[in-house]
A and B are shown apart, each in its own frame.
Chain A
Amino acid sequence: MNGSESVIETHGLSKHFGRHRGIEDVSLSVRRGEVFGLLGPNGAGKSTAIRLLLGLIRPSAGSGSVLGLDCWRARRAIHRRVGVLPSDFAYEDMLTGREVIDFFRRLRGLPADGRADELAERLRADLDRPLKQLSRGNHQKIGLIQALVHDPELLMLDEPTGGLDPLMQEEFLRIVEELRDDGRTVLLSSHNMAEVERACDRVAMIHQGGLLAVETVDSLLSRAPRHLRVTFDGPADAAPFAALDGVRDVRATGNSVEMDVAGDINGALKLATARHVVDLVCERPSLEHAFVRLYEDEDSGGEL
């Protein structure tokens, strides 16, 4: 299998709901075998993008293809080959999880096997209670199982860990890792930076319907500012640091000074070591930091 073959591709994909913007001119490509994250705040357009790719809504402009098939016209052929968790997973709530999963499997023409029970055990899901009796997290697990149970080559999961407790989030991330090891492709949306940082190879950042950046998680982190905290043997002064290029949010408290340093940290280090340094902490930035910076730059009209 060609490693750079793209499984999802969009060209200028746009969706307007009347006067309201859904997404605007999104062009991206997801390669086979990667875990791809759609990241963005509420209302950014993540679900809209996924629903377009699944042919649930029709593009206003541009086009998208999934597994080489047009996402609007060939949606049924796509549905045969994907596993989907919609953003608000819900189904007839007097049915039990098992009944829902079996029904969807029958529609796919697949025989029952032990996979649903296997997944239920891993996620600690109760398959034998009606959906209406399940808590939000346990309800979400049924949605995850029905997306995974037929072992599809491509998964599209809209906020898969929504409602899951940290332990189950962890288990879910392990499942995603296994899927990647098996050569499956996963597209997932999230607001959870830590989760995307851990699970994804690449991320697309969506903000107000537009694509801000598509990058590998590594390069995004390397460009992101580092958080530096220096403690001296005497009172610290913020001013010299604030004057440096790429240094932001400088705060001096007592003998310590804290700052965010974008790009090269040598300038800040040299300035610090000119005095007697008692302690120095340089934190690897979280994706969240990187992300917030991107948004700030976008909102202030600055360059990325």
Chain B
Amino acid sequence: MIAKLAAQTLRMRLRSILIWSLSLSALTVLMVAIFPSIGKIDFEQLLKQYPKAMLEAFGIEDTSQYSTPIGYINAELFSMMIPLAIAFLPLGVINQCLPAAEERHFLDNLLCTPVARWQVLAGAAVAGATALATVLFAVWAVTLLAAELLDVNLGMADLARSCVSLWPLASFVASVGALMAGFGPGRGRALGAAGGVLVLMYMLPVIAAFDHSFAQAQKLSVFYYYNDWLKHGIDWSEAVAVLAAAAALTAIGAVLFERRDIAS
């Protein structure tokens, strides 16, 4: 049942998956294309002029990262722009399937077929996670192809690591949307709450870099782990923990959804 629901959702979102893939790939390909000229600039000299705390805040601990293509793409795109953007893909899918569908009276039909409410929510979560994986794979493949054509030495495994790191991160943000869907209808509510959590989580490690009293608090942020994965490789136990937290939030959302009134 969950598979049927997820498959239908993915069919309906095919176009948006394509658009996401194309626009994110365009960004990464652009970075690959301009790297050869950027690579000639002596960033180490340039960046040494800035205070260390500020560089840290922007995830630039090691100024030498700009000298490799993957380091450059990670710093320019994967450390902020892409994660902040792509979290809205699975979040949008969940939002469309639940709060927005409820607002538009779609759920009165769907929930009068023999599907359980929790299955509708699980189907949306699966569709969101699948759409996300598809876009990440497309970005990875297109970028590699572009690097090959432009003769830029972009490691297949390094780029894969950056893409794969995004999956637990964005899934977690989407699960906040799933939790909110458990509370009630309204497109704005789930998007707003999850978007807020996303920005907050992004800011925590940034603030912690300036103010060390946040050193412990930043561990509540998925970005704390994500930043680390980008630099030092994915810590699988951390990744599993993030996904488990996402599953837990989704499950709580499902329980709430089972017990509440469907809005008319």
B263 to chain A, nearest CB (A): 9
Q: Which residue of A lies closest to B262 (CB)?
A: A56
A257 in the interface (beta carbon within 8 A)? no
Q: In the bound complex, what is the Cα–Cα distance between A54 and B5 (angstroms)? A: 21
Q: What is the 8 Å Cβ interface bit string for chain B, positions 99-125, against chain A (1 contact, 0 not)?
A: 000001110111111111000000000
Tell me the chain B residues, 1-28 only, with Cβ under 8 Å from chain A.
Answer: 1, 4-5, 8, 12
Chain A residues with CB under 8 A of B111: 56, 79
Tell me the chain A residues, 144-169 only, with Cβ under 8 Å from chain B.
Answer: 146
A115 in the interface (beta carbon within 8 A)? no
CB distance B112 to A91 under 8 Å?
no
Chain B residues with CB under 8 A of A109: 114
- Which of A58, A76, A104, A106 touches B109 (beta carbons < 8 Å)? A104
B264 in the interface (beta carbon within 8 A)? yes
A277 in the interface (beta carbon within 8 A)? no
A89 in the interface (beta carbon within 8 A)? yes
A95 to chain B, nearest CB (A): 7
CB distance B261 to A58 under 8 Å?
yes
CB distance A57 to B113 under 8 Å?
no
Q: What is the 8 Å Cβ interface bit string for chain A, positions 74-101, against chain B (1 contact, 0 not)?
A: 0010011010101111111011000000
- Assuming the contacts A86-B105, A90-B105, A146-B109, asked whether A107 and B261 have C-beta atoms less than 8 A apart, the reply is no
CB distance A84 to B8 under 8 Å?
no
Q: In the bound complex, what is the Cα–Cα distance between A103 and B108 (angstroms)? A: 15
CB distance A57 to B261 under 8 Å?
yes
Taking A76-B114, A86-B105, A86-B108 as known contacts, 17 extra A-B pairs with beta carbons closer than 8 A to each other, sorted by chain A number, are A48-B264, A56-B108, A57-B262, A57-B264, A58-B261, A79-B112, A79-B114, A86-B112, A87-B108, A91-B110, A92-B106, A94-B12, A95-B12, A104-B110, A106-B4, A107-B110, A143-B109
- Which of B4, B8, B104, B113 touches A90 (beta carbons < 8 Å)? B104
- Which of A88, A107, A108 touches B105 (beta carbons < 8 Å)? A88
16 sampled A-B residue pairs with Cβ under 8 A? A47-B264, A48-B264, A54-B112, A56-B108, A56-B261, A76-B115, A79-B113, A82-B112, A87-B108, A88-B108, A91-B110, A92-B106, A104-B109, A106-B4, A107-B4, A108-B113
Q: In the bound complex, what is the Cα–Cα distance between A51 and B109 (angstroms)? A: 11
Chain B residues with CB under 8 A of A106: 4
Q: In the bound complex, what is the Cα–Cα distance between A47 and B108 (angstroms)? A: 11
Among A84, A94, A103, residue most surrounded by chain B Cβ atoms (within 10 Å): A103
CB distance B114 to A91 under 8 Å?
no
Chain B residues with CB under 8 A of A48: 264
A178 to chain B, nearest CB (A): 22
- Which of B113, B262, B264 touches A104 (beta carbons < 8 Å)? B113
- Which of A57, A84, A95, A103 touches B112 (beta carbons < 8 Å)? A84
Q: How many A-B residue pairs have CB under 8 A?
A: 69
CB distance B262 to A90 under 8 Å?
no
Q: In the bound complex, what is the Cα–Cα distance between A258 and B242 (angstroms)? A: 80
Chain B residues with CB under 8 A of A84: 108-109, 112
CB distance B108 to A107 under 8 Å?
no
Chain A residues with CB under 8 A of B261: 56-58
Q: What is the 8 Å Cβ interface bit string for chain B, positions 245-264, against chain A (1 contact, 0 not)?
A: 00000000000000111101
Chain A residues with CB under 8 A of B113: 79, 104, 107-108
Q: Which residue of B lies closest to A77 (CB)?
A: B114
CB distance B109 to A86 under 8 Å?
yes
Chain B residues with CB under 8 A of A104: 109-110, 113
Q: Which residue of B lies closest to A17 (CB)?
A: B261
Q: In the bound complex, what is the Cα–Cα distance between A58 and B263 (angstroms)? A: 11
The 3 closest A-B CB pairs, nearest first, are A86-B108, A84-B112, A57-B261
CB distance A107 to B1 under 8 Å?
yes
Q: In the bound complex, what is the Cα–Cα distance between A215 and B112 (angstroms)? A: 29
Chain A residues with CB under 8 A of B1: 107
Chain B residues with CB under 8 A of A108: 113-114
Q: In the bound complex, what is the Cα–Cα distance between A91 and B101 (angstroms)? A: 8
Q: Which residue of A lies closest to B5 (CB)?
A: A107
Q: Which residue of B lies closest to A48 (CB)?
A: B264
Q: In the bound complex, what is the Cα–Cα distance between A92 and B96 (angstroms)? A: 10
Q: In the bound complex, what is the Cα–Cα distance between A103 and B262 (angstroms)? A: 21
Chain B residues with CB under 8 A of A107: 1, 4-5, 110, 113-115
Chain B residues with CB under 8 A of A56: 108, 111-112, 261-262, 264
Chain A residues with CB under 8 A of B109: 84, 86, 89-91, 104, 143, 146
Q: What is the 8 Å Cβ interface bit string for chain A, positions 252-277, against chain B (1 contact, 0 not)?
A: 00000000000000000000000000
A297 to chain B, nearest CB (A): 30
A158 to chain B, nearest CB (A): 9
Chain B residues with CB under 8 A of A47: 264
- Which of B8, B105, B114, B264 touches A103 (beta carbons < 8 Å)? B8
Q: What is the 8 Å Cβ interface bit string for chain A, positions 156-197, against chain B (1 contact, 0 not)?
A: 000000000000000000000000000000000000000000
Q: In the bound complex, what is the Cα–Cα distance between A86 and B5 (angstroms)? A: 20
A176 to chain B, nearest CB (A): 19
A76 to chain B, nearest CB (A): 6
Chain A residues with CB under 8 A of B114: 76, 79-80, 107-109
